[in-house]
Amino acid sequence: MTRKSCIVLPDDYKGYDVDYFCVPHHYEDSLDSILIPSGLIQDRIEQLARDIAVELGKEPFAVLCVLKGGYKFLADLLEKIKQYYRFSSENSVPFSVYFIRLQNYEDNHSTGKVKVMRVDGLSFLQNKNVLVVEDIVDTGKTMQVLLEILEKKQPKSIKVASLLVKRTSSSSGFQPDYVGFEIPDRFIVGYALDYNEYFRDLNHVCVISEHGKQKYSNHSN
């Protein structure tokens, strides 16, 4: 199956004024704009869930979630996959869920090094269909390192689903199999994407302001 087209936000896309949507009061002065509202995120995930369920067919699969930012996307995606199975004529398919933690950012800068912080039971990969769930693909280098690790376990197949792909000149060229949105090269927060562990409790995907970066910098806490 050919990878579905994603929603592309152009470079001149400004998003929505923060005043148009509900955001936690403590973040109101720290956001430039709301890039993708929560409702649009949910509708797009529903379509991704359908695409994934159709392609995986009736074979059981294993889900590997990249923590920490991927947890909310994972929860919403799996719930919508289960809904699809419940309301379609197809039989439901069992799946297992595992977690891995990688680290590549300090403040808003990539460190250039990928650290594998946590791996849960990679022995499950052998001869299995694996769905890797990621919040955002930036340069793509982190995912390429992870896939090299996973391939050594000899899975039957590996597919990658990412809610976001950032359009950046430093991209390695890696493209996930399933993408929600392609976005401009801006530093974003919300929907479990953080800045120094803040903003995970924000439902929308937003552009952080310079004031927000200073306010929540490691050097300010």
CA torsion, points 204, 208, 214, 217, in degrees to nearest 10?
60
- Residue 162, in any domain of the structure: yes
CATH number assigned to the domain comprising residue 146:
3.40.50.2020
CB-facing half-sphere around the CA of 29: CA atoms within 13 A: 5
35-57 pLDDT tens trace = 999 999 999 999 999 999 988 88
Asked if the model's pLDDT at residue 215 lies above 90, the reply is: yes
pLDDT at 21: 96
Residue 171 lies in a domain: yes
Domains identified in the chain, total number? 1
Of 49-53, 90-94, 175-179, the poorest mean pLDDT is in 90-94
7 lies in some domain: no
H helix and E strand count, the chain:
4, 10
DSSP-assigned beta bridge partners for residue 67: 101
Tell whether 34 is covered by a domain: no
Rounded Cα–Cα distance for residues 24 and 187 (Å): 19
1 occurs within a structural domain: no
Q: 101 in a domain, yes or no?
A: yes
Cα 192 versus chain centre, distance = 9
62, 128 contact by CB (below 8 A): yes
DSSP bridge pairs for 16: 34
Which are the catalytic amino acids? 138
Question: Which domain, by its residues, includes 171?
Answer: 39-186
- Give the count of beta carbons closer than 10 Å to the beta carbon of residue 105: 16
- Is residue 221 situated within a structural domain? no
* SS3 state at 21: coil
17 domain residue, yes or no: no
The answer to whether the CB of 147 falls within 8 A of the CB of 158 is yes
Q: Range with the lowest mean pLDDT among 103-107, 144-148, 155-159, 214-218? A: 103-107
Which one has a higher pLDDT value, 31 or 60? 31
Please tell me the predicted confidence (pLDDT) of residue 99.
Answer: 87
Mean pLDDT of the chain: 87
The number of residues in the chain equals 221
Per-residue pLDDT, averaged over 85-97, amounts to: 80
What is the average pLDDT across 6-18?
95
